[in-house]
């Protein structure tokens, strides 16, 4: 098995597959997660090949763009990796990473765990934080036609997985319902360290946002 060639082919496959994807879930998102995952993996005892494949394929068919069907992504990845004659145990591991990487409201208990999943999950979560995380959040909100902010619609921190997936809340609510929760849910020490700065930047952004809106930021608990 030529791992270098498989990674090369996987990159080409993902680039082609996501050529017209929404800006927050396009190839550039995958590329950033791929780089983040490799950086985090450098400090962990993991199978780098599994980490790289998981990072590259984690959003190959995101359920948000496939009518909420969470089975599409793992199946697309499986078919591709079988064509590349990747061993069955690695394919299964990558499928599990794709299945369990997403936040989905944060209240679902995972039935699978591995160091490779933890690394890829941290890499993906980092891209949801900081300046890029803010940009991606508003891009997706605009893509879905959501309001930027409505002070009368309060964040819901106790959503079920189904409620989270069906939510049409204003984009600012997403900071409370997901983004601000990620820092304390990082798996690796490297991930936690990198998340700190990005988390602080999002707090600064919201303080300025509320100031410009004419609201007292102190009334909004981060």
Please give the chain's pLDDT, 222 residues, in tens.
899 999 999 999 999 999 988 888 999 999 999 999 999 999 999 999 999 999 999 998 766 655 556 788 899 999 999 999 999 999 999 999 999 998 765 566 777 899 999 999 999 999 999 999 999 999 999 999 999 999 999 999 888 878 888 889 999 999 999 999 999 999 999 999 999 999 999 999 999 999 999 998 777 776
Long-range contacts of 149-154 (CB under 8 A, 24+ apart): 149/209, 149/213, 151/213, 151/215
Residue range 108-165, pLDDT digits in tens: 677 789 999 999 999 999 999 999 999 999 999 999 999 999 999 999 988 887 888 8
Structural domain spans, the chain: 3-219
Q: Which CATH class is domain 3-219?
A: mainly alpha
User: What is the average pLDDT value for the chain, to the nearest integer?
Assistant: 92
What pTM does this model have?
Answer: 0.91
Q: How many Cβ atoms are within 10 Å of 74's Cβ, its own excluded?
A: 20
């Amino acid at each position: 098995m030529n791992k270098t060639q498989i990674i090369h082919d996987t990159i080409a496959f993902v680039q082609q597959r996501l050529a017209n994807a929404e800006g927050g879930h396009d190839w550039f998102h995958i590329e950033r997660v791929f780089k983040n995952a490799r950086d985090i993996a450098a400090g962990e005892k993991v199978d780098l090949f599994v980490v790289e494949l998981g990072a590259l394929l984690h959003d190959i068919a995101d359920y948000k763009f496939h009518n909420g069907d969470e089975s599409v992504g793992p199946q697309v990845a499986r078919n591709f990796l079988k064509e590349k004659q990747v061993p069955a145990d690695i394919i299964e591991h990558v499928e599990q990473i794709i299945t369990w990487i997403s936040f989905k409201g944060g209240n679902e208990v995972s039935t699978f765990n591995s160091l490779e999943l933890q690394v890829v999950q941290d890499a993906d979560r980092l891209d949801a934080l900081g300046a890029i995380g803010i940009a991606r959040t508003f891009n997706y909100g605009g893509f879905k036609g959501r309001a930027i902010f409505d002070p009368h619609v309060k964040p819901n921190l106790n959503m079920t997985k189904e409620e989270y997936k069906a939510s049409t809340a204003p984009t600012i609510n997403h900071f409370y319902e997901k983004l601000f929760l990620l820092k304390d849910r990082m798996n690796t020490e490297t991930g936690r360290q990198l998340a700190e700065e990005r988390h602080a930047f999002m707090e600064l952004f919201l303080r300025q946002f509320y100031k410009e809106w004419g609201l007292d930021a102190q009334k909004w608990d981060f």
